[in-house]
Structure formats: C-alpha cells, structure tokens
Structure 1
Amino acid sequence: MKAEFEAIPLIKNEARKRFEIEVNGHYAFINYGERTHQIALVHTEADPELAGTGAAAAVVEKTLNYIKESGKKLLPFCPYVFAYIKKHPEWKEIVDEKFGGYDEL
C-alpha cells in the first residue's frame, strides 16, 4: 500500500454494505456480505478521481487486514480481490478453504 493511504481509516459502512476509505472527498470501496464466520467481498470500485492512485489496492489491503483481525474467513468473489490475493499469496491463509476458486489462488 502506498504510504499516503496508511493513515486513512477503513470504514465498515454497514448501511451501504461496503468497506470504504475516503480520499479528498472521493471513495474507494468494496461491497460485502457477512455471515457468522465468513465475509464475502463482491465488488471493488473507486471513484474516477482516484483512478491509478492505488486507492483500490489500499482499500483491499485494509479490508483483508480487518477480516484477518476479525477471525472470519474470506470469500473473494470480487475479481479484483481474487487477483490481489493471487499477487500477494500471503493472504490465502484467510480464504475459506471451501471457496470454489481456492485451488486457483
């Protein structure tokens, strides 16, 4: 994660069912679904003003840290999150082994 995003807090916006960070009034976020022992990440998006800044990667990393700290398992349905984990295999440890694409990570 780029240094400029480290101090920006991750918000779990339960009303909108998304994890988000705000950067200069613009948002990068991941839509999620949550069960007792799992969090499914469905879609990652960043406002156009944040394109190419690394904000999407930052919200993914912050969200993965949140999931790890929560003790829940991850279901990475979002293609961006899935690709991020393939690129950073240390995160595979939080993916639910029952996830359909687990062996592709």
Structure 2
Amino acid sequence: MELKKGTNRFYMLDGDKEIGEVTFTEDPPTVLSINHTFVDSNYRGKGIAQQLIQAVVALAMNNQKRIKPVCSYAQALFKRNKDYAAIEYHE
C-alpha cells in the first residue's frame, strides 16, 4: 500500500486501487480542517484511516499549523490520542 498526497487530501493506494482518503481544507493562515475520512470496507480495521490522519497531522506540524477535526472519525481519534492535543485548534 502506498500513501499519496493530492490537492487538499491524502489517499492510500493498493496497486492502482484507491482504498482510502482523508480530505481537508486550509483555513488560512494557521488551520487545517479535516472534513472527511473514508476507507474501503474491505480494508477497514487495518489502521489505514489512522495513517491518513497522521499524514495530515505531520503536514500541519511541518507547516506550523493547527488541526480542526470536523469529521466524526477525526474527532474520535483526537479525543483518544492525547498526543494530538497540542496541535488541535480550538475556537
């Protein structure tokens, strides 16, 4: 499986098949909002969604941005993972 970056999204490929994605919007100047996370039902339970979210977290950290978890999966992951507290955006 291969992680790729597109315009305002990261996606995971298994060969030529796209099996998951996370989309985000840039809310200048300092916030990335995670809007949608999806993993093909045949690939769920393998940590792919978490890898996709982690890619957005790394992008935010490398660019001194914060993250606003909007989609339900991102919200749940941010609640479970206290390491994300420092990068989470609060209005």
Name the % identity: 18
- Counterpart in the other structure of 2:65: 72
Higher helix share: 1
TM-score (norm 1): 0.73
SS at match of 1:93: coil
SS at match of 1:64: helix
**Distance across 2 between alignment mates of 1:52 and 1:22:** 16
TM-score (norm 2): 0.82
Tell me which of 7, 20, 33 is aligned to 1:28. 20
Higher strand share: 2
Q: 4+ residue stretches of structure 1 with deviation over 4 A? A: none
Which runs of no fewer than 5 residues in structure 1 stay unpaired? 99-105
1:57 maps onto 2:57 in alignment: no
Aligned length: 89
Which runs of no fewer than 5 residues in structure 2 stay unpaired? none
**Distance across 2 between alignment mates of 1:26 and 1:49:** 12
Task: Return the offset for 1:38.
Answer: 1.0
1:1-105 counterparts in 2 under 5 A? 8-11=2-5, 13-14=6-7, 17-24=8-15, 25-36=17-28, 37-98=30-91
